[in-house]
Amino acid sequence: MKRSDPSFRVLAMMLVAVATLSISRPAEADGGEKKAAPKTAAELSPEEVAVKAYNRGITQRSGAWKNETKALETDDADKRAKYEKRAIKAYEKAVEYQSQAIAAKDDMHEAHAALGYALRKLGKYDEALAAYDRALALDPGYAPALEYRGEAYLGLGRIDDAKEAYMTLFKNGSDEAATLAAAMRSWALANGDAADAGELSSWLDTREEIADAVGAGSGPVGGW
């Protein structure tokens, strides 16, 4: 076919058009749709900012748990100190992230409860109680906050308040009642010389008998 042939010119134009279309066509994701670009921080809604910060805080808390477990499992004093230090740093980061979540969305009761947990693990019991109270003001039946607050009461020696927290959980049929009972049992064992430790142990014996009678069980053994 000669270049002067009209058919040649038509074929050449078609090839150029196809090549141009192939070059200018945007890349597509599987399924024929463009991939959405990730949002920038400025484009996130307050709810999205809160959820992102909350999840980061939960990740830090999980890291703290892992280091606490390692600290309990090692007989090496130096390694134990290292793991405990890492756990503290993780809880401090958890406080930071949960505070960010609350700043973005103050009515996120889960973030208030998680903030209280991290504060309690850092020994800041009064601040932890304030966070739990806020969580429960937003959602009075939120079991994790009720259980966490009960453990904070233990740390402050407020045994009657801890008992009341247990009773609320138990009456609501929450599995968290067993968790708090285990924490109370650990506290009584760790504080055997305290005047109310023996009384608390007896009280727990009675409560566990009642729990067994109604099929609730006594739950796993845990540390307060």
> How many contiguous H segments (helices) and E segments (strands) does the chain have?
9, 0
The amino acid sitting at 17 is A
Is residue 67 within 8 Å of residue 86, measured between CB atoms?
yes
Rounded to 5 degrees, what angle do the CA atoms 96, 140, 197 make? 80
* 150 domain residue, yes or no: yes
* 2 domain residue, yes or no: no
Q: How many CB atoms lie within 10 A of CB 1?
A: 7
Taking only the tens place, the pLDDT of each residue in 173-207 is 899 999 999 999 999 999 888 778 889 999 999 99
Both 117 and 129 in one domain: the answer is yes
* 37 domain residue, yes or no: no
Domain final residue pick, 87, 108, 139: 139
Tell me what pLDDT residue 28 has.
44
Both 58 and 135 in one domain: the answer is yes
Low-confidence ranges of the chain (pLDDT < 70): 1-37, 215-224
* 177 domain residue, yes or no: yes
* 128 domain residue, yes or no: yes
Both 79 and 68 in one domain: the answer is yes
* 20 domain residue, yes or no: no
CA distance 124 to 132: 12
Average pLDDT for the chain:
84
Domain span holding position 170: 141-224
Is residue 195 within 8 Å of residue 157, measured between CB atoms?
no
Is residue 169 within 8 Å of residue 163, measured between CB atoms?
no
Q: Which helix (H) or strand (E) holds 80?
A: helix 77-104
* 185 domain residue, yes or no: yes
Tell me what pLDDT residue 29 has.
46
Both 103 and 149 in one domain: the answer is no
Is residue 133 within 8 Å of residue 145, measured between CB atoms?
no
* 35 domain residue, yes or no: no
C-alpha neighbours within 13 Å on the C-beta side of residue 143: 13
Sign of CA dihedral 186, 189, 193, 198: positive
Into how many domains does the chain fold?
2
Tell me what pLDDT residue 31 has.
54
CA distance 204 to 190: 15
Whichever domain contains 72, its CATH number is: 1.25.40.10
Instruction: At 103, list the tokens.
Output: 């700043």
Q: Which of 55, 61, 111, 52 is nearest to 88 (CA)?
A: 61
Q: Which of 69, 113, 70 is nearest to 95 (CA)?
A: 113
Taking only the tens place, the pLDDT of each residue in 100-111 is 999 999 999 999
CA distance 87 to 80: 11
Tell me what pLDDT residue 20 has.
45
Instruction: At 156, list the tokens.
Output: 């402050």
Both 173 and 220 in one domain: the answer is yes
Both 103 and 90 in one domain: the answer is yes
Can you tell me which residue has the tokens 């999980």? 62
Both 54 and 128 in one domain: the answer is yes
